[in-house]
């Protein structure tokens, strides 16, 4: 009996050791991604495992703002700390007054991940169209790592495809992994095996990728690379994983 229990324990341990690590995603989720008239939009900022709907505490970001064409507004001071279980997240709001595509963005503080022996920095964006402007959504913000949409990132139905271009320091990033996850915040999607949690595609020689989303809701894309600069941890240089993250919403089909 003891031998059987030991074998069972070793098999379970081997399964979890072989299972892929949960993907980290910076998140900015607005209460709406389309606005028909001026008004307030509220936003939630997380550092999360979206499909599993669990995550880490997000230290107050290094930067948070919104871009509208050449205009930028700093939203960092307006963020309010929130709790979900033991995790810290942040909430904010913004008053939309005129037509345009508003690009909300966040640069987090570096996050130390012991399991990967590296720091993680995810530059995160989401885009809200106001008053049917439908222009400006493909504007790069000049972040160190970002995804620039080639598909209009709103007005999408479940089942639509999305194409984006990954930029690292302003240049297209070839052969980069792009992790894709659904924000399973209501727990409606069952996960049949760990491999289904995170989908993965790669960019082509021009930094371009395409992915088709099977159902409606919020979907996150995290393009990843290792920075060409290291950070110190306990006096030792450590790699830095950079992520360019973009969140888009797909309208469910009834």
DSSP state letters, 168-211: ETTEE-TT-EEEEEE--TT--S--SSGGGTSEEEE--TTSEEEE
Q: Is residue 33 part of a domain?
A: yes
104 domain residue, yes or no: yes
14: CB partners within 8 A, 6+ apart: none
Give the pLDDT of residue 234. Answer: 95
Closest CA to 143 of 31, 248, 42, 246: 246
Q: How far apart are CA 66 and CA 73, in angstroms?
A: 5
62-79 exposure pattern, b = at least 16 Cβ within 10 A, e = fewer: eebbbbbeeeeeebeeeb
Q: Does residue 126 form part of some domain?
A: yes
pLDDT at 51: 97
- 95 part of a folded domain: yes
**Is 2 contained in some domain?**
no
Residue 151 to residue 165: CA distance in whole angstroms:
10
Whether the CB-CB separation of 208 and 138 falls below 8 Å is answered with no
What's the pTM?
Answer: 0.91
Look at residues 44, 50, 43, 54 and name the one whose alpha carbon lies nearest to residue 86.
54
Domain ranges, residue 145: 22-251
Residue 103 lies in a domain: yes
- The answer to whether position 31 is within a domain reads yes
Number of domains forming the structure of the chain = 1
- Tokens 């495992």 sit on residue: 49
What is the structure's pLDDT at 21? 54
Point out the residues of the chain with pLDDT beneath 70: 1-22
Among residues 179, 194, 162, the alpha carbon closest in space to that of 15 is found at 194
Maximum distance among all Cα pairs of the chain, rounded to whole angstroms: 71
Q: Which two tokens stand for residue 241?
A: 């994983």
> What pLDDT is attached to residue 13?
38
* Tens of pLDDT, residues 71-123: 999 999 999 999 999 999 999 999 999 999 999 999 999 999 999 999 999 99
Supply angle C-alpha 26, 30, 36, rounded to 5: 150
Segment (H or E) for 80: strand 80-84
- How far is it, in rounded angstroms, from Cα 209 to Cα 169? 18
Q: Is residue 16 a part of any domain in this protein?
A: no
């Amino acid at each position: 009996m003891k031998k059987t229990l030991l074998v069972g324990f070793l098999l379970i341990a081997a399964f979890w050791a072989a299972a892929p690590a949960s993907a980290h995603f910076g998140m900015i989720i607005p209460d709406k991604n389309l606005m028909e008239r001026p008004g307030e939009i509220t936003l939630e900022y997380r550092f999360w495992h979206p499909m599993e709907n669990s995550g880490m505490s997000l230290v107050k970001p290094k930067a948070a703002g919104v871009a509208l064409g050449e205009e930028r507004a700093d939203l960092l001071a307006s963020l309010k700390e929130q709790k979900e279980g033991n995790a810290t997240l942040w909430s904010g709001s913004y008053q939309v007054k005129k037509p345009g595509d508003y690009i909300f963005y966040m640069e987090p503080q570096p996050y130390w991940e012991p399991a990967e022996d590296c720091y993680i920095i995810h530059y995160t964006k989401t885009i809200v169209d106001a008053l049917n402007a439908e222009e400006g959504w493909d504007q790069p913000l000049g972040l160190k790592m970002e995804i620039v949409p080639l598909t209009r990132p709103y007005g999408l139905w479940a089942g639509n495809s999305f194409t984006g271009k990954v930029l690292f320091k302003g240049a297209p990033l070839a052969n980069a992994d792009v992790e894709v996850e659904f924000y399973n915040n209501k727990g409606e999607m069952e996960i049949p095996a760990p491999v289904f949690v995170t989908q993965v595609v790669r960019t082509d020689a021009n930094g371009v990728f395409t992915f088709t989303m099977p159902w409606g809701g919020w979907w996150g894309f995290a393009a990843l690379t290792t920075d060409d600069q290291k950070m110190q941890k306990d006096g030792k240089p450590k790699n830095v994983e950079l992520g360019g993250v973009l969140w888009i919403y797909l309208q469910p089909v009834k």
